[in-house]
Amino acid sequence: MNDTPSSKRFRQADIAARAGVSVSTVSRVLANEPGISDDVRRQILKVANELGYPVKAGSKAAPGSLALIASHGVTGGLSVFYEGIVEGLRSEAAGEGMPFDIRLVREAKATPDAVREHVGSVGARGLFLVGIDPGEALGNWLQESRTPVVLVNGTDPLMRFDGVSPSNFFGAYAATRRLIDAGHRRILHLTGSHRQTIRERIRGFEAAVASVGGEARVIHLPFETNASIEAHQATLAALTEDAGFTAAFCMNDFVAVGVLEAVAEAGRRVPDDFAIVGFDDLPCAEMANPRIATMLVDRVALGREAVAMMQHRFRNPDAPARHVSHGVVPIAGGTLKEGPR
């Protein structure tokens, strides 16, 4: 049977192809985001209508939201980790007919006045804080203003705000257990950042090593320049001071790349003499030689989950705060010898 407009389920990619625009532009128009010209908006909606693509009725009247995303500490741009989260936020918001906008901000500049101005400039009702832990002043203002908030890749120890994140404690515990199960007992952990999510990874690492009576050493990186370079220098210094460490769990894959380079420079064979496990499964983990063993974080799923949580908050403004943790998945690599799973 030939596909006809009535029998084929069209996707946003089909609309993009016929309208001569990017899929991202289609997604933004269907989510009623600002910043798109009226001509382009009309063309996309016309094509969507011709193809029978479901466009939510009354989307312009639906409560809108704003995502404030922590910019990269060094470059000021969007980090690789958050690209997948943005994709999930945009696609789910489009599917729900939720008007949606994005702003990149430095966390230190996320003050009540600045956030109030950002929210007001787009008329947003809800706020996603992506990679931003609200300080005392911002947290107090968000509570007093009763602004619906979802922390994305974040947790609130006081449980004032909804949040979604990877399972950082148990993910770090599982990552470290992979090293332990491979026979390692003296293990480094290279980390940095003030964020609660990263503190949970430290706790998971320490708990795993303590469970077998091993020796754990946590190395805090300043993250003032390049994470891989700083990890490289710190690993060389640690192994010069004490050559007895045989493995490292790294807070993310950028750090793991630096550790891998340092270990090779120190004359260790990976994974025979030294094993490494990263976190996040970023592109750099796959491109490293050997491929870095790591833990997969489904970042698109985090973005989608956040939109669902915001919709729940819109419907239930007085419900207790919820936190959702997504499990992480072990990814094999040449930096760790493991038995069959």
pLDDT in tens, 91-139: 899 888 888 899 999 988 999 999 999 999 888 999 999 999 999 999 9
Is residue 34 located within the same domain as residue 79? no
Is residue 307 located within the same domain as residue 286? no
pLDDT in tens, 20-61: 999 888 888 887 676 677 678 778 888 887 887 876 654 444
How confident is the model at residue 7, as a pLDDT?
44
Is residue 240 located within the same domain as residue 212? yes
pLDDT in tens, 145-182: 999 999 999 999 999 999 999 999 999 999 999 999 99
- Residue 24 CB neighbours (<10 A): 14
Tokens 């038995």 identify what position?
339
Q: E-assigned strands of the chain?
A: 65-70, 100-105, 126-130, 149-152, 162-166, 186-191, 215-220, 247-250, 275-277, 294-296, 323-326, 329-331
pLDDT in tens, 177-220: 999 999 999 999 999 978 999 999 999 999 999 999 999 999 99
Mean residue pLDDT across the chain? 90
CATH number at residue 104: 3.40.50.2300
Indicate whether 40 belongs to any domain.
yes
CATH number at residue 31: 1.10.260.40
Distance CA 264, CA 280 (A): 22
Indicate whether 24 belongs to any domain.
yes
- Whether the per-residue pLDDT at 300 is higher than 60: the answer is yes
Q: Which of 258, 282, 297 corresponds to the end of one domain? A: 297
Indicate whether 341 belongs to any domain.
no
Distance CA 9, CA 11 (A): 7
Is residue 144 located within the same domain as residue 71? yes
> Residue 262: which pLDDT band, with cuts at 50, 70 and 90?
very high
Is residue 49 located within the same domain as residue 12? yes
How confident is the model at residue 225, as a pLDDT?
87
Rounded average pLDDT over 261-265: 97
Is residue 229 located within the same domain as residue 276? yes
Is residue 90 located within the same domain as residue 236? no
- Whether the per-residue pLDDT at 243 is higher than 80: the answer is yes
Return the CA Rg of the chain: 23
Is residue 175 located within the same domain as residue 271? yes
Two structure tokens written together for 54: 């479901």
Q: Which of 10, 26, 55 corresponds to the end of one domain? A: 55
The number of residues in the chain equals 341
Scanning 129-244, the segments in alpha helix (DSSP H) are: 136-145, 168-181, 196-210, 227-241
Is residue 192 located within the same domain as residue 278? yes
Indicate whether 293 belongs to any domain.
yes
- Whether the per-residue pLDDT at 277 is higher than 70: the answer is yes
Is residue 144 located within the same domain as residue 193? no
Indicate whether 336 belongs to any domain.
no
Is residue 76 located within the same domain as residue 186? no
How confident is the model at residue 152, as a pLDDT?
97
Q: Percentage of the chain surpassing pLDDT 90?
A: 72
How confident is the model at residue 35, as a pLDDT?
67
Distance CA 199, CA 191 (A): 9
Residue 185 belongs to what domain range? 168-297
Indicate whether 157 belongs to any domain.
yes
Is residue 172 located within the same domain as residue 293? yes
Instruction: Count structural domains, the chain.
Output: 3
Indicate whether 335 belongs to any domain.
no
Indicate whether 61 belongs to any domain.
yes
